Structure 1
């Protein structure tokens, strides 16, 4: 029943996309489309939670669509139900937010038809149970999101963002197509049930693992496949950016889990090595790049790369533990990964919604052009502060709970017998610890520059709070960040069926532990109580505030903001985002980003202000994609001559190619 309801909702979303094309001239089209998407996404969320929390049996459904004599197979189990809930939690919040934010969209006809199609594609990927249905849904998701990235195609750099995104999406789809081709084998078994019974062997396993990692990693933003992400997220409308960062990357992670943990058979320990290496690199490089950015949405995009690295670290650990028969440790690592998937959906959606609110109020994304918004946008400032604390992995919010579980899994790594993993896992743990510290610095910098101090520009000075719809969406998700942080045991128990499906083990039940404490392994090793931490922080802060107001002088004295030692009242003398990141940039920038600083100092008598010019490079782009682009352009230049050949030359080329293919076929073993 739940599967039929979910597929019916997907059909309704596609119908809404069609209706958006027909109702494009109606003044109320924006409200109608987003309200309909909110209703459908809420039904899908309730359906997914009923399947997951109600422990309902798995269900299959075959539709007379797709390939002849095969049809389109769909299936819902605990794993797909969890990700279905993730998709529609983010979709519901984004649709609620868009009821207000969408009214500021200057080209709504470029957004409205593709938004419900994007939601339909993501939901269909999660429910697909054969290679054709999966890849078709994957392409629908990719093409709809590409159209949304190009919604503001007249703005500078957005066309490049769309081009890079569609190329990387095509590359990922090709890798997944080849992976499913190897899994299907010579029998052409496209259904997942058939694939499970004919697992490849030898080098084919390594090829499928590599192709699956490339295909899903390119969509998730795993280094070095991340280059599209910091371009596409700033280009898309803010509610779409929240979906791409908080939801679409999780659909890619679902695809990785489905292929590697489900379809590929029992794992071997070496599978985890490339995953852990890519995870560590993504976590550190992502957050370091975020620290260097002054564009708010680019900062959040690079932060997504860091969080994807944290999630893949949990998945890599789960592979290593499961391959060695450590079921409890594998369950802990998988729980940490799935918990962080939920957490990232919550706090990153709030942050992108906050970025959209700031953009609506000020028309600015540059951190150095903001400041003082806490007085002009008090609600937005509070919810963004909650999200910043959560993403910085500070207790008692949800980001700390999932990252703490990840480190608990890392501490179990000494029992792994392989020496390569014994050395690799602690190194990855050190990188994750570094990324956690840098994340705190990154979001202290972002929040302080945007909301504290004095307005640096007239736009920031004249900002006003956004509409109630947008505020409601942000408040709801920020409240969930707090609840998931102080009551993590209920979340752990809720996602246990999905963990059990993936690694055939689960963590012990947490809800019945005294004082709602979570105990990942044993009480003698470690435990954490988010509720007590929250009560302690609340009580100590309240007691301090009471003591200060009761024991100190009751006189109120107001003075000017600290001027950093300079008597100039100009807001430009404040600490800026660029100056905040300067020490870290000088430590890491020269080697990791080829950072260059130069000072433009005017001559005596020249009234121009002095300027500090900073340039950064993405070494992954310069080392991999830049030369590749040049090679493609060079090859296209050379091959361009083929269109000027004579008919005799064309026939000769066709003949030679046919002979070559026959020789290859004859020599094939």
Structure 2
């Protein structure tokens, strides 16, 4: 059976963590640990892929662990198998990258013991089949990732990031705990099989949906629960950042799908889809706008995780709306788009974070304003990063285009929904999705251009060297998968069919592998179709033909002239286009509303030798108007309650007696 094999592999990961505690200071310890995680995650990846493709019945196992009367239930079905593929593919590539990158780690004793445990925690969340095991493994995942965020705790910004992450993780777990309590009901059936067999009233079901959005959305990065993500993800080592951003957020998406699409049963209220749609659209637009304002490559990528989580939730919201109206064929399309984007984001976001890690290793810099010209000393890293940037910008024939195109196809059939609110809301979300796609392309033109093109802006960038062979192997593995998923999307859609059928009452898209030329036809060929192979062939032929004609027909006469210098003949790199100047037009369009941006220009009068200055201040309204007042209220309230620790025994007993009377009175009134 595959389930016991997966659990055995996870035990090996836990054993590797225990071994790393004692062996951190031994020579080549990091390579041994990352070699173990690479081997284990590769085998787990193959096991999960086998289960998904062969589509057997779900496998279940109960172990005498956890609560005495409950035990620990584990289950492997199509949904958990798909997300296991995402987790272990990301874990294998991150481990491969770390074989080289880990040699440069300044504090390996703070990374190696927690890295395998982090992978084990994510895998166990996907296999858990009762509320206790799920929450226990969820906390294991959260705490080990927090320890990795705090690996470089000497930097004050990392300490703040770790503290905020821990607070938001506790809040999310509390929300999930309440959601499972409502699902279990008064009978206390906490195993998922009992929850599925039970019924929940519409009022409680809506409350469970809200709690799932709070619990899973805080871990995934839904706005306005995203505030921890752009701080914590950049603080971790780069291979851990790739796992947190490309993989852990997908475990949060899994938690939402498991609760809302599986345990709650078929949605009966159409407005569920509207709520999830609206949150997804707002998250997508705000995420990319925040990303455009960033100079730090890691923070830019972290905010793009927020954007892509929004795209995934747009697909999930559409699926809920279609299911509530018994439009299961349309729901299958929306679910396929969301799950396809889960896979795609794990690929290109891991690629981009690992590429940033290679840049950080070579230069010691994450600030784009201190980079530039890296395409010359690091051509292979630049090529891999360019592929990832094109994929996340949804450019064909790469994978990011396919999942966003499928999402648009689901949006285009939304006029068939009977509710007028959805008829207006879904097109508005479609416009927001189109805006976020365009802004994402602009953002990665900035990210790649400022980082890799032009001239070096600092001595560190000028002295950079290409990264090691393990890191390059990891980068190009992900780049190849981005290309394969883009040119052969029908095979991925067929692989997702068992998952969609499980969540959608058996309805799924028609088989795509039998289509001519492997064309992707999500609805019918007269309405929509896409062929990645033909697009790639056309691009290759047209590009080759254009280059041939230019070289054959153009004059070969040599001509000399001054290069275009943008009006600045000085060769100083400071005269180049910067990340700030690139984002300035977009900041002036959206900044006053979204960021409350303020610009102040100081222009000295004639004869004054002081330099001119431009000061730009950006604010985060979500933090300032949402979280900062709550934090201030908590501090003030805790100060008021501080005097309780100085009470006498008599007053303590009186206080306890008064609270007991109030509780008994409440119980009596409740009954």
TM-score scaled to structure 1, two decimals?
0.98
1:372 maps to what in 2?
373
Instruction: Mark the CA change 1:272 to 1:473 in structure 2 (over 3 Å): closer, same or farther.
Output: same
Alpha-carbon distance, 1:563 to partner: 2.1
1:72 maps to what in 2?
72
Secondary structure of 1:599's aligned partner:
strand
1:597 maps to what in 2?
599
Instruction: Mark the CA change 1:2 to 1:658 in structure 2 (over 3 Å): closer, same or farther.
Output: same
Listed as ranges, the matches of 1:527-538 within 5 Å are 527-538=529-540
CA contact (8 A) 1:234 1:298 kept: yes
Q: What does the per-residue CA deviation read over 1:560-599, in whole Å, with 9 as the maximum and x for residues that have no partner?
A: 7642111111111111000000000001001110111223
Q: 1:514 aligns with which of 513, 516, 519?
A: 516
Listed as ranges, the matches of 1:425-574 within 5 Å are 425-504=426-505, 505-554=507-556, 562-574=564-576
Secondary structure of 2:66's aligned partner:
strand
Output the CA distance in 2 between the equivalents of 1:557 and 1:247.
53
Instruction: Mark the CA change 1:591 to 1:130 in structure 2 (over 3 Å): closer, same or farther.
Output: same
Alpha-carbon distance, 1:266 to partner: 1.3
Output the CA distance in 2 between the equivalents of 1:156 and 1:663.
48
Instruction: Mark the CA change 1:470 to 1:411 in structure 2 (over 3 Å): closer, same or farther.
Output: same
CA contact (8 A) 1:598 1:612 kept: yes
Listed as ranges, the matches of 1:182-581 within 5 Å are 182-268=182-268, 269-504=270-505, 505-554=507-556, 562-581=564-583
CA contact (8 A) 1:563 1:574 kept: no
Alpha-carbon distance, 1:487 to partner: 0.7
Alpha-carbon distance, 1:601 to partner: 5.0
Alpha-carbon distance, 1:550 to partner: 1.8
Alpha-carbon distance, 1:56 to partner: 2.3
Q: What does the per-residue CA deviation read over 1:128-178, in whole Å, with 9 as the maximum and x for residues that have no partner?
A: 000011000000000000000000111131110000000000000000001
Instruction: Mark the CA change 1:386 to 1:557 in structure 2 (over 3 Å): closer, same or farther.
Output: farther
Once structures 1 and 2 are overlaid, which stretch shifts more, 265-274 or 401-410?
A: 265-274
Q: What does the per-residue CA deviation read over 1:271-309, in whole Å, with 9 as the maximum and x for residues that have no partner?
A: 112111110100000000000111110000000000000
2:623 maps to what in 1?
621
Output the CA distance in 2 between the equivalents of 1:173 and 1:607.
58
Output the CA distance in 1 between the equivalents of 2:67 and 2:323.
36
1:177 maps to what in 2?
177
Alpha-carbon distance, 1:456 to partner: 1.0
TM-score scaled to structure 2, two decimals?
0.98
1:584 maps to what in 2?
586
Q: 1:634 aligns with which of 633, 636, 639?
A: 636
Output the CA distance in 2 between the equivalents of 1:609 and 1:557.
40
Listed as ranges, the matches of 1:637-648 within 5 Å are 637-648=639-650
Instruction: Mark the CA change 1:603 to 1:646 in structure 2 (over 3 Å): closer, same or farther.
Output: farther
Instruction: Mark the CA change 1:601 to 1:666 in structure 2 (over 3 Å): closer, same or farther.
Output: same
CA contact (8 A) 1:50 1:56 kept: no
Output the CA distance in 2 between the equivalents of 1:297 and 1:599.
29
Instruction: Mark the CA change 1:655 to 1:555 in structure 2 (over 3 Å): closer, same or farther.
Output: farther
1:58 maps to what in 2?
58
CA contact (8 A) 1:597 1:613 kept: yes
Q: What does the per-residue CA deviation read over 1:107-144, in whole Å, with 9 as the maximum and x for residues that have no partner?
A: 01000000000000000000000001100000000000
Q: What does the per-residue CA deviation read over 1:605-651, in whole Å, with 9 as the maximum and x for residues that have no partner?
A: 88775443222111111111010000001011111111112222211
Output the CA distance in 2 between the equivalents of 1:368 and 1:555.
38
Instruction: Mark the CA change 1:143 to 1:546 in structure 2 (over 3 Å): closer, same or farther.
Output: same
Instruction: Mark the CA change 1:39 to 1:606 in structure 2 (over 3 Å): closer, same or farther.
Output: farther
Output the CA distance in 2 between the equivalents of 1:600 and 1:66.
65
Instruction: Mark the CA change 1:542 to 1:623 in structure 2 (over 3 Å): closer, same or farther.
Output: same
Output the CA distance in 2 between the equivalents of 1:615 and 1:373.
29
Alpha-carbon distance, 1:65 to partner: 0.7
CA contact (8 A) 1:508 1:520 kept: yes
Q: What does the per-residue CA deviation read over 1:160-217, in whole Å, with 9 as the maximum and x for residues that have no partner?
A: 0000000000000000001001111111101100000112113211111111110000
Secondary structure of 1:520's aligned partner:
coil
1:158 maps to what in 2?
158
CA contact (8 A) 1:124 1:137 kept: yes
The alignment covers a number of residue pairs equal to: 669
Q: What does the per-residue CA deviation read over 1:438-472, in whole Å, with 9 as the maximum and x for residues that have no partner?
A: 00101011111111111111111111111000000
Secondary structure of 1:376's aligned partner:
coil
Output the CA distance in 2 between the equivalents of 1:556 and 1:511.
52
Output the CA distance in 2 between the equivalents of 1:315 and 1:152.
36
Alpha-carbon distance, 1:549 to partner: 1.7
Output the CA distance in 2 between the equivalents of 1:533 and 1:303.
26
Listed as ranges, the matches of 1:74-113 within 5 Å are 74-113=74-113
Instruction: Mark the CA change 1:556 to 1:461 in structure 2 (over 3 Å): closer, same or farther.
Output: farther
Output the CA distance in 1 between the equivalents of 2:223 and 2:562.
46
Instruction: Mark the CA change 1:145 to 1:526 in structure 2 (over 3 Å): closer, same or farther.
Output: same
Output the CA distance in 2 between the equivalents of 1:72 and 1:337.
30
Instruction: Mark the CA change 1:29 to 1:650 in structure 2 (over 3 Å): closer, same or farther.
Output: same
Output the CA distance in 1 between the equivalents of 2:41 and 2:435.
37
Output the CA distance in 2 between the equivalents of 1:609 and 1:107.
42
Pairwise CA RMSD:
1.3
Output the CA distance in 2 between the equivalents of 1:650 and 1:555.
96
Secondary structure of 2:156's aligned partner:
coil
CA contact (8 A) 1:453 1:561 kept: no
Instruction: Mark the CA change 1:588 to 1:650 in structure 2 (over 3 Å): closer, same or farther.
Output: same
Alpha-carbon distance, 1:554 to partner: 3.7
Instruction: Mark the CA change 1:227 to 1:462 in structure 2 (over 3 Å): closer, same or farther.
Output: same
